[in-house]
Chains A and B, each alone.
Chain A
Amino acid sequence: MPVVGRVHKGRYHDSVALMQAQQILRQMPGVEEAGVVMGTPANLALLRDAGLDAPELAEAGPDDLVAVVRAATEADALRALERLEEALSTRSRGEGPAYRPRSVRTAVRALPGANVALVSAPGRFAAAVAEEALREGLHVFLFSDNVPVEEEVRLKQLAQQRGLLVMGPDCGTAMVAGVGLGFANRVRRGGVGIVAASGTGLQEVACLVHRWGAGVSHALGTGGRDLSDAVGGASFTAALAALSADPDTRVVVVVSKPPSPRVAERILALARRCGKPVVVNFLGARAARSREGIYFASTLEEAARLATTLAGARPGEPAAEEICAPPRWAVGQRWVRGLFVGGTLCAEAQLVLRQRLGRVWSNAPLTPDAKLAGVTSREHTVLDLGSDEFTVGRLHPMLDPSPRRHRLIHEARDAEVAVVLADVVLGYGAHPDPAAELAGAWEEAVDVARAAGRELVCVASVCGTELDPQPYAQQVERLRQAGIVVASTNAAAARLAAGLCAGAAPPQEAGPLPSVDVPDAEEPLPATSDALRSLLRGPVRAVNVGLETFAQSLVAQGVPVVSVDWRPPAEGDAGLLALLSRLGG
């Protein structure tokens, strides 16, 4: 049986480390016996006694590391010896909690097996952090916004080369292998996989699927720009392919605000080869026709209902619309005012309202003709309080309820307002008791209106589940205590609001919605990388760069996470940063 030896001159290791390495070499295929020692005369004699005598031993001295392997074949022995470095550097534990790494690279060393980075560093630095994470082999959940589109394209190309997924930029939520990333609800695991370019769209579908008895395998965010012409659906394609290949996923739901028609068609061509039913909800975009296996849904609610059914659960009949008798309106009260913290919920509400009430103004309209000039409400108006006009220099309204409170009081003073429509978003990362905040604001608004001799109605829905840190039923109850009408879905809330105002004013003509077509062509989905399959298999091990709340919510979910002590590179010095980027540093 061949015996092969190696002598590493001047290489010292503690005997415990050597014995561990020896143990690893012994377990290599074909290896019968292995010895790893410092070359003292006594140790060399031990090796020879153990039948590990090789000619190389003659040149070994006490300062030299000696490794000898006896194996079935010489090739086996050589293969084992090649593993020596690795065996000597194998480490069993992480670095302990006290040191906070300053880079993704060192964080990965502190958390072996890390597979995803959550990046919420400020926008102008975020792409560089995401790139570092990709180069370290991590998938990226990129919450930061204000990342230039050319950077997004570059990151997604890099990710594609490495078989990695970039969720974002401006991606607020995802669920991977049962773990919520960012702002995420806790939902049952099940057969519905979601790919979404919109955050609260993903949350609403996932929560409804859960509340209707099915479950979610994974919900992958892509960032709102992914389906633009510039980005071309890079992350969408990768996510769709991954869910197509994922054994836990039986139905795929695709959610986006209206995408670029060219990219939408491409996604649909890919969807035709998904091998699983695909429910498509391009909010506000009409489908020209349907195809086998592709199910168009006009609202998030409909998408969730279809998905639940296709996954084998029974959502039951569409819930009887909540009944709400209109109060006696004062003269002139006729408009709906929507105050939303969720952007996609805001879009869905507009869609439902415009079908019944005609034109609905918004700072984030479905069609350009409904774009509000500034932020002053007129006629039927639905506002996305999470968009840039409202959030510059302050927290998102899901975290900071005060902007909506002020706006609500303001709307209550308007003598033409009849109905207020609102959303409440639960889950990790969100405000700890959002219903109490809305209820408190509403009680104040009612007082304001009554003092002026008017009654107001507030209709709301709650996006969440009973598993969320803020339990669904308790949140609903708190709203009802304040006299708020709570509908079971966001779309139902909008229908209810529309019903209350129908006939109060003649419908204004709304501009046409874009339409998409399912192309005749089919396009094969790209192969899914091992790295992405492995992420979906779990368990998730995360590196967090930025918002501490994201790390805390992962800890609450029992996910190992290392937080990077992130600081602006080169202290933000633009000149040095330019040099670093030229020098690849």
Chain B
Amino acid sequence: MDVDAANEVVVRRILESHPVLVGVGRALDVVPGMRKDLILHAGPPVTWDRMCGPLRGAVIGALLYEGLARDEREAGELAASGAVRFEPCHHHAAVGPMAGVTTASMPVYIVENRTFGNRAYSNFNEGYGRVLRYGAYAPEVLDRLRWINDTVAPAIGEALQRMGGLDMKATIGRQLTMGDEGHNRNVAGSSLFARQLAPALADCDLPREVLSGVLRYLADNDLAILNPVMAACKATMDAAHGVSGSSVVTCMARNGTEFGIRVSGLGDRWFVAPAPVPKGLYFPGFRDEDANPDIGDSTITETAGIGAFAMAASPAIVRFVGGTPQEALTATLEMYEITVAENPAFAIPQLDFRGAPTGIDVRKVVRTGITPRVNTGIAHREPGVGQIGAGLVRPPIRPFQEALRALAELVSP
């Protein structure tokens, strides 16, 4: 088995992937393997007893949202009882930021990889403040979630259909030339998203207060496009998964307790280690001891070569760690050390339009000791408080070392 040859196949699949946001559907109807008693969450598999605060809060909120429990206490008992199941979004071609909690009746974005035909899914972004993805489940949180899911999502779905879909590959490429890196900064991308949706929304025959509300949702939410971007990255990396012998990482995700990776040539196995706490800047009134360990599927962006890997394109982000634009360049240049390709579709202006570093090779990570950089929001460790800052984090190296060992066993048992 030739690892390099296998990686070339993987690289080709990544670079040839062409994700397009084609519409919106109900999770139960469109997400493969979705069931009413199933709660999808971010990161590698985790049981209720090991879940961190924000994830537990989001689970409670989701059970209330789905009407499976009447109050917090009942929801907690139900979650602990085993009557509802927990599975990673990643096991269902889905991704979700932070807690990533997705349940049967929630709407999801549908991204189709036009080259390979596979699809990936992501829930809707609730914006900033007290939101489910950070573990909040107060009545007003659930009310807003219902409004997004019942009003915003169908409108955007209809608009997307009228548009014939939205090309995510081109949109991400454009975001990167506009100061976004696609993970922590999506201001430009969300603006493009709103700009492209607006005329189609206007054509949709929506009641005026609905149209106004949807446009306001898009106008106010700098993260609106994050979830479609993540689904686009997921659709790309799923197409690259399952190439025998490949050492390229196709998934990095955290559940707030553990950080885990999957590798193209190593099937469904997860390689995990305790999730580290991000280093960053905090909103007024919060400090690092308030921070939850790293959480969310949004590291799919770094896995696909954007996010912190495209940091050079987004000098504004390094200010979260008091950095300089030069440090943004250094961050991206360092990621070329551990990747096997450069993606010309995601060209970085600050590096003279060099393609973003793409395809993390576990061999290179172990050899250099350089672990992937990750840009991330920081969640409060108590459920429901929400985002308390943003920063950067390096995952532990152990999962990469274990993946290398597993790959070596496959090569010559």
CA distance A101 to B335 in the complex (A): 10
B26 within 8 Å of A by Cβ? no
A583 touches B363 (CB 8 A): yes
Residues of B within 8 A of A (CB): 2-4, 18, 20, 114, 167-171, 173-174, 177, 247, 326, 329-330, 333-334, 336-337, 342, 344-345, 347, 349, 351-355, 361, 363-364, 366-370, 401, 404-405, 407-408, 411-412
Q: How far is the CB of A487 from chain B (nearest CB, A)?
A: 51
A92 touches B330 (CB 8 A): no
A580 neighbours in B (Cβ, 8 Å): 363, 366-367, 404
A109 within 8 Å of B by Cβ? yes
Q: Which residue of A lies closest to B361 (CB)?
A: A585
Give the residue among B169, B170, B355, B363 with the most A Cβ atoms within 10 A.
B170
A91 neighbours in B (Cβ, 8 Å): 351-354
Given contacts A12-B174, A14-B177, contact A576 B401 (CB under 8 A): yes
Option from A12, A95, A102 in Cβ contact (under 8 Å) with B170: A12
Q: How far is the CB of A532 from chain B (nearest CB, A)?
A: 27
A569 neighbours in B (Cβ, 8 Å): 367-368
Option from A10, A95, A567, A584 in Cβ contact (under 8 Å) with B167: A10
The A interface, classified by DSSP as helix, strand, loop or mixed, is loop
B369 touches A103 (CB 8 A): no
Give the residue among A93, A96, A580, A583 with the most B Cβ atoms within 10 A.
A583
Given contacts A106-B337, A583-B3, contact A570 B367 (CB under 8 A): yes
B167 touches A583 (CB 8 A): no
Given contacts A17-B353, A585-B364, contact A98 B326 (CB under 8 A): yes
Given contacts A14-B347, A88-B353, A579-B404, contact A102 B330 (CB under 8 A): no
Given contacts A11-B169, A571-B369, contact A583 B401 (CB under 8 A): no
B344 touches A88 (CB 8 A): yes
Q: How far is the CB of B44 from chain A (nearest CB, A)?
A: 23
Given contacts A89-B344, A580-B367, A583-B408, contact A13 B353 (CB under 8 A): yes
CA distance A61 to B20 in the complex (A): 14
A85 within 8 Å of B by Cβ? yes
B173 touches A582 (CB 8 A): no
Q: How far is the CB of A152 from chain B (nearest CB, A)?
A: 22
CA distance A99 to B312 in the complex (A): 12
In the complex, chain A residues 66-122 whose Cβ is within 8 Å of any chain B Cβ: 85, 88-89, 91-93, 95-96, 98-99, 101-103, 105-106, 109-110
A9 touches B174 (CB 8 A): no
Given A579-B404, A585-B247, 5 more A-B residue pairs with CB atoms under 8 Å apart are: A89-B342, A101-B337, A567-B369, A585-B364, A585-B367
Residues of A within 8 A of B (CB): 9-14, 17, 61, 63-64, 85, 88-89, 91-93, 95-96, 98-99, 101-103, 105-106, 109-110, 567, 569-571, 576, 579-580, 582-585
B412 neighbours in A (Cβ, 8 Å): 582
Given contacts A12-B345, A13-B347, A576-B366, contact A99 B334 (CB under 8 A): yes
Nearest 9 A/B pairs, CB to CB: A585-B363, A12-B173, A63-B170, A10-B169, A91-B352, A63-B167, A99-B333, A12-B170, A579-B408
Q: Which residue of A lies closest to B367 (CB)?
A: A569
CA distance A95 to B332 in the complex (A): 11
A570 touches B336 (CB 8 A): no
B170 neighbours in A (Cβ, 8 Å): 10-12, 63-64
B407 neighbours in A (Cβ, 8 Å): 583
A567 neighbours in B (Cβ, 8 Å): 368-369
A17 neighbours in B (Cβ, 8 Å): 347, 353
Given contacts A98-B326, A585-B3, contact A11 B367 (CB under 8 A): no
A10 touches B345 (CB 8 A): yes
CA distance A379 to B405 in the complex (A): 60
CA distance A569 to B369 in the complex (A): 7
A109 neighbours in B (Cβ, 8 Å): 336
A579 neighbours in B (Cβ, 8 Å): 366, 404-405, 408
Given contacts A571-B369, A583-B407, A585-B3, contact A14 B401 (CB under 8 A): no
